[in-house]
Structure 1
Amino acid sequence: MKVLTQPTPPMAAIVLVALLSLLVSIQKGDAHDLKIGSSGDWSIASAPYTTWAERARFSIGDTILFNYDGSKDSLLLVSQADYNNCNTASPIEKHNDGHTVITLERSGPHYFISGVPENCKKNEKVTIVVMADRSQKATSESPFVASSNFMIFFCLVGVFACFFI
């Protein structure tokens, strides 16, 4: 009759830590940290930003850095109508700290303009279009298909059971 031995606790701990690290890296997603216009400089001199924004692919969770002189300029998130007319009177958000980091939290277009109307009219503005979140499977698929997080959880429970019970 063979006697089965269990792995030593340090080996089990290493495997568990490795699996937890994998889980955390999967949860991080594909978010990117970007600088406006590639340089991060939000100014008339760096405008227009249209070509940069059209070439980039933006996803939910991405962050965009805007650097500018906060005593002379600002960054406004505005409606499409205010973007088209360079209207600075009623922004959705106003930033004037000179080092603004915007996190893109929803899909669709985001309209940014300079808080100085003359700067906006000289193309210190940008439309950033965020792609739809495609990370979740449609619920119309088979109800028996488990999500990847659910499967990872059961794998971790299985590893725990193998090494510690």
Structure 2
Amino acid sequence: MENFWMKLGSVATLIVTLMLILTTMAEPGEGALHKVGGRSGWTEHANYTEWSTHERFSVGDWLYFVFNRQMYDVLEVNETSFESCNSQGFISNITRGGRDVFQLKEAKTYYFICSRGYCWGGMKVFVDVVVAPPAPTPSPSGAARSLASLSLVILPLIVTSLLSLKPTRCL
């Protein structure tokens, strides 16, 4: 009798685990990656105003700065410092190795400059970040859908069959 209930518990655990796996197969979406300056990257030869007006920035997106670290840097600043190319009192220095990312975590305008005099030559960009409407939940692949549909039919049959079995006493 005890063996029967142990097997039933194992089957129930297996069923619940399978159902959880099937309902979580679709991965949540990640933010978009925007290479700052497009093909040019973060250099003094890009038009950042034009580049940023052709991009749509949403909360959760990432800015990808590609640049020569020996020549340039990337500083997040406030609007006043952005307008005057003032690197004093910057918000954050995101310069690490010349291939640096920055996540846009809230809906607001972010301002970035390159210090070392390059800001005056146009190495500065601002991005307006908006809250994106929720994306539709991706549906599982055809195989996963088929497996999920099949499991919804077969698993209850298995449970019903197991419950209808009469436990036998082992001698």
Query: 1:54, CA displacement in angstroms?
Result: 0.9
Residue 103 (structure 1) aligns with: 103
1:33 maps to amino acid: L
Cα 1:19–1:119 shift into 2, 3 Å: same
User: What CA distance in whole angstroms lies between the structure 2 residues aligned with 1:17 and 1:96?
Assistant: 40
* Contact kept? 2:110, 2:128, Cα under 8 Å: yes
What SS does structure 1 have at the residue aligned with 2:43? coil
User: What CA distance in whole angstroms lies between the structure 2 residues aligned with 1:65 and 1:40?
Assistant: 12
Residue 128 (structure 2) aligns with: 129
Cα deviation 1:46-96 (Å, max 9, x = unaligned): x22111111111011111110111122100100000000000111100133
Cα deviation 1:106-164 (Å, max 9, x = unaligned): 11100000022x210111110111013544xxxxxxxxxxxx9xxxxxxxxxx7x9586
Matched positions, count: 129
Residue 75 (structure 2) aligns with: 76
* Contact kept? 1:48, 1:125, Cα under 8 Å: no
TM-score of the pair, normalised by structure 1 = 0.66
Residue 85 (structure 1) aligns with: 84
Structure 1: segments with no counterpart, 5+ residues? 1-7, 136-147, 149-158
User: What CA distance in whole angstroms lies between the structure 2 residues aligned with 1:120 and 1:36?
Assistant: 15
Greater gyration radius? 2
User: What CA distance in whole angstroms lies between the structure 1 residues aligned with 2:159 and 2:120?
Assistant: 66
1:59 maps to amino acid: S
Query: 1:15, CA displacement in angstroms?
Result: 5.1
Residue 43 (structure 1) aligned with residue 43 (structure 2): yes
2:22 to 3, 10, 18: 18
User: What CA distance in whole angstroms lies between the structure 2 residues aligned with 1:91 and 1:13?
Assistant: 50
What SS does structure 2 have at the residue aligned with 1:21? coil
RMSD of Structure 2 on Structure 1 (CA):
2.9
Structure 2: segments with no counterpart, 5+ residues? 1-10, 138-151, 161-171
Cα 1:13–1:164 shift into 2, 3 Å: farther
Structure 1 stretches (4+) deviating beyond 2 angstroms? 8-18, 132-135, 161-165
Percent identity reads 23
User: What CA distance in whole angstroms lies between the structure 1 residues aligned with 2:40 and 2:110?
Assistant: 17
1:74 maps to amino acid: D
Residue 52 (structure 2) aligns with: 53
Residue 151 (structure 1) aligns with: none
Query: 1:29, CA displacement in angstroms?
Result: 3.3
User: What CA distance in whole angstroms lies between the structure 2 residues aligned with 1:12 and 1:82?
Assistant: 56
Cα 1:164–1:73 shift into 2, 3 Å: farther
What SS does structure 1 have at the residue aligned with 2:63? strand
